[in-house]
Structure 1
Amino acid sequence: MSAPQAPSAPHSPPDVPVMQVIFGLMLAIMLGALEQSIVAVVLPEIALQLNGFEDMAWVISAYLVASTVVTPIYGKLSDVLGRRSVLTFSIVLFVLASIACAMATTMPMLIVARILQGLGGGGLISVSQATIADVVPLRERGKYQGYVSGVWAVASMAGPVIGGYLAHFLSWRWIFWINIPLGLIALIVVRRALRHLPVSGRKHRIDYLGALLFGGGLSGVLVFLTRMGQGHSPLEPQTIGLLAAGLIGLVLFIWQERRAVDPVIPLKMLAVPTVAICCLTLFLCFFQLIAMSVLLPLRFQVVGGAGADTAALRLVPLTLAIPFGAYASGRLMSWSGRYKPLQLAGCLVAPIAIVGLAFVPPQAVVPAALVMIVLGLSIGLQLPSGLVATQNSVPPQQVGIATALTAFSRLLGGAVGVAVLTTVLIALLRHSGMAVSDLHGGEDVLMSMFRRAMDAGDQGDAAAVREAAEHAFRLLFLMSAGVSLIAPFFVMRLKEKTLRGSPAGAAASAAAE
């Protein structure tokens, strides 16, 4: 009688405390996801203290790019060395890098520390997700992955709220100091919970060359975009060289992945239309989600004159709406066995909501909150439906790889979204600042503009700067809405299949038999 039950959890030993493991993993995932956006609301304060408006985008994107590149490598290393040891290394690196971030005295020091923090944070997320597959039976895995998605989304959006209050009552350095007690708790729980988890013994050829090409190529393109935002001419030899090197690196990465025995990114799986479309929609979804968690509090401060704590509090409607939309999406999928209508509704409403944010003044608290709720619900609808559609489109033995690919798409979308939109914002702010500043180009224009805009008074000078900044934010939001319009065109082409295990799917299987 026990033989039929064995496949449901082939790797799970009977003495592993599943709920204790899940608690520790969720704490690790929360740490990794929180750092994606916790600095968003205090970016102006950090930039003013460290004199680094030019490099402001990299405070966030350095973490995201580093964590994105190492995510697949950590997963494969943990197959060889064991989840417990690799996750322990990730947490220790994350905590040590957090200390370095808190003690940074210049913007370059902070960016380097954030890169190290991202190298640890990528392991927190990827190894935790792989561990869930080890200890949870396949039939119940969707439920726990839903918990993970919820923790990830809430942590990503709650980051600015927590960061704002820590910065207001203590200082911006406490957004990094707080990671030390949380990381130590996660370390103790993970070490204790995973001590009975065996090493799988599976051998992998880790594609280090592919990871290096991807990281170098993506960094080259993002640095090119950053230089454009800083006002450098696209015809400068150094700027052209960065773009060329980045594109060559990405082309070589694709070539390497096609020939690698165990590639970093399984490009062959992207040949499945449903997988490709869902990865694209999740990329665009996190492109907007992480970028909005950065741009909205920045707008509330620069244009609306709000303090860091007030700007953080005003993000709560968006923070709460995302998990509610994700929960509703999961319930509707369980009831109907369909995912395409949910994805289509979400990706159609999102650009409308972003356009609404562009034209609702940041001082209008209630209308802005209502629009943020609509945006949060539209994003929440897409998160579980995209993941489940991907898992449903591949054979059961490839569900793990498909899930990792969607996680990679989300991380990459967040990294690119923050880098691109923040860079465009800096360029727009510089252009607007030139019209209201007596300075002529360079970082001084941005510093002068931010200081005047965040002045507590409403005298003519500050009002003119805020008006110029609002024009820049409005253009940026309209550009962001235009990017999000890509998703509906692809989702309309999505071929829907009845979900495995749903009532409709069971009826179809019975009819076929």
Structure 2
Amino acid sequence: MTEEPAAEMRARFLRAFPGIALTIFLSAVDQTIVATALPAIAADMGGIERVSWILVAYLVAATCAAPVFGQLGDAFGRKRLLAVALAIFAAGCLGCVLAPSLPVLVAARMVQGFGGGALLTLAQALIGEVLSPRERGRYQAWIAGSFAFASAFGPVAGGYMTQVFGWRSVFVMLLPLALLCAVLARRVPRVPPARRGARLHFDWAGLALFVVAVAAALVALDRARRLDPTLLPLVLGLAVLALVATLLLLRAERAARDPLLPLAMFAEPSIWRSYLLSSLVVGAQVGMISFLPVWLQTVRGLAPGPSGLMLLAMSLGGASGALFSGRMVARTGHAMRWPAVFLPLGSVIWCAIALTAPGLPLAVFVPLLAMAAFCSGTSFPVVQVTVQAAAGRERLGAASAGVAFSRNLGAAAGTALVAAVVFAAVGLVGAGPAFQRLVAEGPGFLAVLGPDAAMALRAELAEAFRALFVTAAVLTAAGGVLAWQVPLRRF
């Protein structure tokens, strides 16, 4: 887009920012707020073994919504579609509130996820429409900070609402937020669509194959992280289905007039390397968030409350890193320089934690945790800005959708990988059965073992959980290598 005077550009963004930031906050909160309500939902509706479908259904729907609304936004304009996405999201929330059974709740979460994925994609692309490439870094950093705060706020709010008012109140709380987003979205500047006047031939075949590939891959990853041998045939079957659907999707996209996934764009080195970098870093972060409380409770003996507060250090560190790199992009024009420097440093910090974790004082551990998250956070705004700049305005929606997809896939794959590594390491030290009972029964299981046996188990787990931090170090280092390989480095 053409350059604008700085004052006019800032005025346009400040007018749009409340609606955009709250929309992303709403989408981020919705992804995390339900996790702490799952035990209550299982107790109310039964089926503890099936309750994880509430999370999987949301993730699949949100991932599938990203390219759909990315393409539609490029064709018809994003402000109009933002209202549609908010309506879908609100309908899903209402369905969750009124759900009489677990299958209905899962279906409502799919509707909610479709709306939530659309909100995130449209809001990110709106920033690209309102701001010039160099200025996007600073404000993408504020958006990343909003996302990080929402990710930390969600579990706390969900736990409190569930405990005081019941699990349905979690979804009730989201409805007024969606309404406020709709009001603020009216202030977002209307920008003519990049493909104005061009007829869109929607890629229905590509969408169907994409849904099959994504659903099969994400469900396979969800089942694989459980490391249950009885699920191996299902996991392999889903993996084959995902592979076949992906190959057919690539063939269909080459023949489509208006492909859902523009392969030429994804083939650009600056874009696909940024996507892969995002997947690696998010995979390390989400995997750590999933298992760090387990380590703190089983090895360090912390209660659930204090161990949950430790995650705030990661959220604050990640948000600070995003703010730092975003401001530096706006000030210097250099983008990939910052994650290229800080991601290797983050890998070194994870290695240091792995070497010293069992006896590391918490007063030292928490700052190191925040520093490692800071290093990872420097990549968040840079990836979005780089991809949008490389794609150009006509493919802004598709490029932003790709970032959302890479993050979702990275989160699912990272959690599965970390789970596999941790459980394998626990098995190697011979503590597998005891660890599973400890996770299922909580710290009370240690009292049953007796002081000596409990101390021995904690020592074994302390050695095994070094693998958690090593895995984060490897993924972060790989992201750092990719950051050096991205051609588009300055705006």
Q: TM (normalized to structure 2)?
A: 0.80
Q: Could you tell me which amino acid in structure 1 is paired with residue 69 of structure 2?
A: Y
Q: Deviations over 1:27-50 (max 9, x none)?
A: 111111222333445666666776
| RMSD of aligned alpha carbons | 4.1
Match of 1:350 in 2: 346
Query: 2-side partners of 1:231 and 1:353: how far apart?
Result: 32
Query: 2-side partners of 1:421 and 1:270: how far apart?
Result: 27
- Report the alpha carbon displacement of residue 71 of structure 1 after superposing the two structures with TM: 0.8
Task: Give the secondary structure class of the aligned counterpart of 1:116.
Answer: helix
Confirm or deny: 8 A CA contact 1:303 1:453 kept in the other structure: no
Match of 2:365 in 1: 368
| 1:329–1:40 distance in 2 versus 1, CA, 3 Å | same
Query: 2-side partners of 1:76 and 1:61: how far apart?
Result: 24
- Report the alpha carbon displacement of residue 368 of structure 1 after superposing the two structures with TM: 3.0
1:120 paired with 2:115, answer yes
1:204 paired with 2:193, answer no
Structural mapping, 1:92-491, within 5 Å: 92-101=87-96, 110-136=105-131, 140-167=135-162, 171-190=166-185, 192-193=186-187, 202-228=198-224, 229=226, 231-233=228-230, 236=233, 238-301=234-297, 306=302, 308-356=304-352, 358=354, 360-361=357-358, 365-391=362-388, 393=390, 401-421=398-418, 435-436=433-434, 449-455=438-444, 458-460=447-449, 463=454, 467=458, 473-491=465-483
Query: 1-side partners of 2:286 and 2:133: how far apart?
Result: 30
- Report the alpha carbon displacement of residue 197 of structure 1 after superposing the two structures with TM: 6.7
Q: Deviations over 1:88-128 (max 9, x none)?
A: 23223323323444566776555444322211101111222
Q: Could you tell me which amino acid in structure 2 is paired with residue 381 of structure 1?
A: T
Query: 2-side partners of 1:113 and 1:481: how far apart?
Result: 38
| 1:59–1:39 distance in 2 versus 1, CA, 3 Å | same
- Report the alpha carbon displacement of residue 279 of structure 1 after superposing the two structures with TM: 1.7
Q: Deviations over 1:401-455 (max 9, x none)?
A: 5444334323332343345545766788899786339xxxxxxxx6x54452243
Confirm or deny: 8 A CA contact 1:41 1:298 kept in the other structure: no
Query: 2-side partners of 1:372 and 1:424: how far apart?
Result: 20
Structure 1 window deviating more from structure 2 (74-83 vs 468-477): it is 468-477
Query: 2-side partners of 1:33 and 1:136: how far apart?
Result: 22
Confirm or deny: 8 A CA contact 1:168 1:308 kept in the other structure: no
| 1:483–1:131 distance in 2 versus 1, CA, 3 Å | closer
Q: Deviations over 1:245-304 (max 9, x none)?
A: 121011112222222222222222233322222221112112223333333345445655
Query: 1-side partners of 2:49 and 2:424: how far apart?
Result: 10
Confirm or deny: 8 A CA contact 2:121 2:397 kept in the other structure: no
Task: Give the secondary structure class of the aligned counterpart of 2:485.
Answer: coil
Confirm or deny: 8 A CA contact 1:164 1:309 kept in the other structure: no
Query: 2-side partners of 1:389 and 1:131: how far apart?
Result: 15
Query: 2-side partners of 1:165 and 1:215: how far apart?
Result: 35
| 1:269–1:85 distance in 2 versus 1, CA, 3 Å | closer
Confirm or deny: 8 A CA contact 2:313 2:369 kept in the other structure: yes
| 1:351–1:135 distance in 2 versus 1, CA, 3 Å | closer
Confirm or deny: 8 A CA contact 1:355 1:478 kept in the other structure: yes
Structural mapping, 1:79-90, within 5 Å: 79-80=74-75, 82-90=77-85
Q: Could you tell me which amino acid in structure 2 is paired with residue 360 of structure 1?
A: A
Task: Give the secondary structure class of the aligned counterpart of 2:180.
Answer: helix
Confirm or deny: 8 A CA contact 2:321 2:376 kept in the other structure: yes
Task: Give the secondary structure class of the aligned counterpart of 2:171.
Answer: helix
Query: 1-side partners of 2:154 and 2:146: how far apart?
Result: 12
| 1:274–1:260 distance in 2 versus 1, CA, 3 Å | same
Task: Give the secondary structure class of the aligned counterpart of 1:315.
Answer: helix
Q: Could you tell me which amino acid in structure 1 is paired with residue 376 of structure 2?
A: I
Query: 2-side partners of 1:82 and 1:221: how far apart?
Result: 31
Confirm or deny: 8 A CA contact 2:137 2:330 kept in the other structure: no
| 1:188–1:299 distance in 2 versus 1, CA, 3 Å | farther
| 1:37–1:368 distance in 2 versus 1, CA, 3 Å | farther
Confirm or deny: 8 A CA contact 2:138 2:330 kept in the other structure: no
- Report the alpha carbon displacement of residue 224 of structure 1 after superposing the two structures with TM: 2.9
- Report the alpha carbon displacement of residue 378 of structure 1 after superposing the two structures with TM: 0.9
Query: 2-side partners of 1:46 and 1:354: how far apart?
Result: 36
| 1:168–1:379 distance in 2 versus 1, CA, 3 Å | farther
Query: 1-side partners of 2:464 and 2:164: how far apart?
Result: 30
Confirm or deny: 8 A CA contact 1:79 1:203 kept in the other structure: no
Query: 2-side partners of 1:41 and 1:59: how far apart?
Result: 12
| 1:163–1:302 distance in 2 versus 1, CA, 3 Å | farther
| Higher RCO (C-alpha under 8 Å, 6+ residues apart) | 2
Q: Could you tell me which amino acid in structure 1 is paired with residue 341 of structure 2?
A: A
Q: Deviations over 1:319-365 (max 9, x none)?
A: 11112112222333344443344222232133334445556259953
| 1:332–1:197 distance in 2 versus 1, CA, 3 Å | closer
Query: 2-side partners of 1:118 and 1:105: how far apart?
Result: 19
Confirm or deny: 8 A CA contact 1:222 1:419 kept in the other structure: no
| 1:482–1:70 distance in 2 versus 1, CA, 3 Å | same
Confirm or deny: 8 A CA contact 1:160 1:293 kept in the other structure: no
Query: 2-side partners of 1:368 and 1:55: how far apart?
Result: 36
